[in-house]
Chain A
Amino acid sequence: MKPKDMPQDGPRPIVNESGIAIKPLYSAADVEASGGTAMIGLPGEYPFTRGIHPLMYRKQPWTMRQYTGFGNAADTNKRFHYLIANGQTGLNVAFDLPTQCGLDSDDPQAEGEIGRVGMAVDTLRDFEVAFEGVDLDRITVSLTINGAAAILIAMYLAMAEKRGYDLAKLRGTAQNDILKEFVGRGTWIYPVEPSIRLVGDTIEYCAKHAPKYSPVSVCGYHIRESGADPAQEMAYAFCIAQAYADDVIRRGLPVDEFAGRLSFNFNCFGNIFEQVAKFRAGRSLWAKIMKEKYGATKPGSMWMRMIAGGGGGGLTFEQPELNIVRGAYYALICALAGTQTMALCCFDEAYTIPSEYAQRISLRTMQLLIEEMGLAETVDPLAGSYYVETLTNQMRGRMEAIMSEVDAQGGIVKLIAEGAIQARVSSQAYQRQREIEEGRFRKVGVNCYRTEEKTPEMEFHPYRDDDARAQIQSLSKVRAERDPARVRAALARVQADARSGANLIPAIVEAVKAYASVGEISAVLVGVYGRYSEPVRF
């Protein structure tokens, strides 16, 4: 079609969430004008726009890893087995807030929160129970833990070792992205600098002792939930990932010895094409950064491996059954975008901890795409679309511009420590909320197509105070049975290593093996590092 024959822009300009103007029609000329086809390449080859593996899902579909955890370790273990029996291929563990904040179940601050939003963990004993009967070679486990990540990674490794697994072959992931916790999600414990150091310790330790384990999953996800647009989501995540990489490189570890185990966690709600372009663009940008800026030579070091699919910010309280449909589109986006792992938010998640029924629907949604819809048959099926390729180039450009801006303003660590990123994204969240309430940003069931019909009855997850008491009793029992001298010596070593600046993970592993608790280890570290104090900026 000649340009003069092409339709003119419609009556209203459309701009996507990342600020890119969307045309009614795209042609080869748009791809060319946006930077051409040089970055497309082939799957499995640099710059990996089309996927990190040559055959992608044709060889192995994405891992299905619903976020799960509540009550105590035994309750959670039961749900794990339910999901595995229903075809889930990985686990993604939710911890309660005391665990996430480094507090034991008998801490006064834990009252009312034990086992509420995730599984309560005090000592290694809880991990032993939680993963009982789970084959850790076949089912990889992702720990959604950040402030207390060093302790829980140590627990996971200790539990696996105790069960006879070879750490050299053990796979798994920890979220362990503390910088984004300061922006959104909020389960920080220590100040910014020692928090980054702890992340560096886990990366360095795993590179040497558990080389298949992914110690970090850098999250654009929660920054997006806090108000970032899709391009910012990815740009900020890359800045944060570089902050961790820089910390490890300063210790003298070559990039190719750890970069292959860095991974990412991204959001996916929003415009389908913008989202797919975001992931394709991000994959090539991360590869370029690792190759050109960090001098990585192994392809694995350049891979943007990711989990995606949550999309909580796109789901609605109103007409919650529509969230099943939204979840299906989010899964489609992630499959079209070549994610390694998928976890969908459940339709009841705006109300409660997901029921078995809701989790099965999410799991079946992913299975439908693989079994019935042909999403695991052909790699990067949207490649070559004038629209998607143009948008991929444009999204990459936006991400690079945002990253340059962060650098010019002093770098991501400084901007987060000052609260500047927090202020920026929360201001955007406010703007978006106003746009929704004024009907300028459409949300079905919220500001259009509302209904007065009653919402279907939700099955609320029960919370039993007795379970909290049982968890405290079980902690007391472990404390009574363990060797107190061994615990004291292990905690003294944690303190000494924190003071000297040695890598803390060996000392923490020793402490968890002695059944020192999350709260005890964390308290020692707070004694050395202090506590984070939140800059509240508007």
Chain B
Amino acid sequence: MNQNNGAGTRKPIRVVLAKPGLDGHDQGAKVVARALMDAGFEVIYTGLRQTPEAIARIALEEDADVVALSSMAGSHLPICRKLAPLLQQAGLADKLWIIGGNLPAQDHDALRALGFRGIFPSSSRLGDIVNFIRTNAS
């Protein structure tokens, strides 16, 4: 469940949504960002070309409940291999890490093993992403 801010209302879930690497395809990330905002989450969209170091830093500074990546250009595995230890070092291992984009099924196990609990390949529905975050972010 979400944290209670003491005033009887829930603190909104904070999502850092990042575009890692050099991939410039941001239509999907922006669509997801809007869907998450409409669902009542606070979304910090990083913009393009974020390094793993920058993503870990932003996630920490922004007190993210969810670290969400969007990758369309095939470099998700090398990027996530670099990012996962950085998120752990930043003390964000207990946060919800998710990834969406052009993610071939054969890579899903490797992404899960790295700690990405939600995997949303092309053709995923916005409602499913929202529900997954609601259920799993704490």
A-side residues, CB < 8 A to B, are 97-98, 100-101, 103, 109-113, 116-117, 181, 184-187, 225-227, 316-318, 350-352, 426-427, 429-430, 433-434, 437, 446, 460, 463, 534, 536, 538
Q: Are A227 and B27 in contact (CB under 8 A)?
A: yes
21 pairs from A and B in contact (CB 8 Å cutoff): A97-B22, A97-B23, A97-B73, A98-B22, A100-B22, A101-B22, A116-B74, A184-B25, A186-B23, A186-B49, A187-B22, A317-B121, A317-B122, A426-B27, A429-B31, A430-B34, A433-B31, A437-B126, A534-B47, A536-B47, A538-B30
B31, B35, B125 — which one has the most chain A CB atoms within 10 A of its CB? B31
* A185 to chain B: closest residue by CB: B24
In the complex the two chains form, what is the Cα distance from A429 to B42 in whole Å?
20
> How many pairs of residues, A versus B, come closer than 8 Å at their CB atoms?
92
- CB-CB under 8 A from A427, the residues of chain B are 34
Which of B30, B47, B79, B106 is A460 in contact with, Cβ under 8 Å? B106
A317-B122 Cα distance, complex, nearest whole Å: 7
- Name A455's closest neighbour in chain B (CB-CB): B105
Using a CB-CB cutoff of 8 Å, which residues 93-132 of chain B contact chain A?
A: 102, 104, 106, 121-123, 125-127
B78 contacts A112, C-beta separation under 8 Å: yes
Whether B37 and A538, one on each chain, are in contact in the complex, defined by CB atoms closer than 8 angstroms, is yes
> Do the beta carbons of A350 and B75 come within 8 Å of each other?
no
Apart from A101-B49, A116-B75, what 18 extra A-B contacts exist at CB < 8 Å?
A: A101-B22, A103-B22, A109-B22, A111-B78, A112-B21, A112-B75, A112-B77, A112-B79, A113-B22, A117-B73, A186-B23, A227-B27, A350-B122, A429-B27, A430-B35, A437-B125, A437-B127, A536-B46
- Main SS class of interface, B: loop
Cβ distance B120 to chain A, nearest Cβ, rounded Å: 12
Given A112-B79, A317-B123, A433-B126, does the pair A463, B22 have CB atoms closer than 8 Å?
Answer: no
User: Which residues of chain B are near A116, meaning CB under 8 Å?
Assistant: 73-75
Q: Contact: B48 with A186, CB < 8 Å?
A: yes
| Complex: chain B residue closest to A427, CB-CB | B34
Residues B15-51 near A (CB distance < 8 A)? 21-27, 30-31, 33-35, 37, 45-49, 51
Tell me which residues across on chain B come within 8 A of A318, comparing CB atoms. 123
For the complex, what is the distance from the CA of A111 to the CA of B52, rounded to whole Å? Answer: 12
Residues of the B chain whose Cβ atoms lie less than 8 Å from the Cβ of A101: 22, 49
Complex CA–CA separation, A324 to B74 (angstroms):
23
* Shortest Cβ-Cβ A-B pairs, 3 listed: A186-B24, A112-B78, A97-B22
Contacts of B125 in A (CB 8 A): 437
Min CB distance B34 to A, Å, is 4
Q: B residues touching A (Cβ–Cβ < 8 Å)? A: 21-27, 30-31, 33-35, 37, 45-49, 51, 73-75, 77-79, 102, 104, 106, 121-123, 125-127
Q: How far is the CB of A119 from chain B (nearest CB, A)?
A: 14
Q: A186-B48, A538-B33 are in contact. Are A351 and B22 (CB under 8 A)?
A: no
The answer to whether B104 and A113 touch across the interface, beta carbons within 8 angstroms, is no
B75 pairs with A181, CB closer than 8 A: no
- Please, which residue of chain B has its CB at the minimum distance from the CB of A114? B75
A184 CA to B73 CA, complexed, in Å = 14
Shortest CB distance A431–B (Å)? 9
Chain A nearest CB, measured from B106 CB (Å): 7
Most buried by B among A187, A226, A433, A446: A433
Given A97-B21, A113-B75, A186-B25, the answer on whether A426 and B48 have CB atoms closer than 8 Å is no
What's the Cα separation between A184 and B35 when bound, in Å? 19
| Contact partners of A110 in chain B: CB under 8 A | 22
Chain A residue nearest to B34 (CB atoms) is A430
Chain B residues with CB below 8 A from A97, complex form:
21-24, 73, 75
**CB within 8 A of A350: which of B48, B51, B78, B102?**
B102
- CB-CB < 8 A to B26: which residues of A? 184, 186
Contact A430-B31, Cβ < 8 Å, known A112-B79, A113-B21, A116-B73: yes
CA distance A352 to B48 in the complex (A): 22
CA distance A225 to B47 in the complex (A): 18
Contact between B34 and A426, CB atoms less than 8 A apart: yes
Chain B CB within 10 Å, residue with most, of A112, A185, A227, A429: A112
Q: Which residues on the A side are within 8 Å of B23 (C-beta)?
A: 97, 186
- Tell me whether A536 and B123 are in contact (CB under 8 A): no
Contact at B21–A226, with CB atoms within 8 Å? Answer: no
Contacting pair A426 B123 (CB below 8 A): no
Question: Do the beta carbons of B21 and A536 come within 8 Å of each other?
Answer: no
**CA of A351 to CA of B122 in the docked complex: distance in angstroms?**
9
Residues in A with CB closer than 8 Å to B126 are 433-434, 437
- In the assembled complex, the CB of B58 is this many whole angstroms from the nearest CB of chain A, namely 12
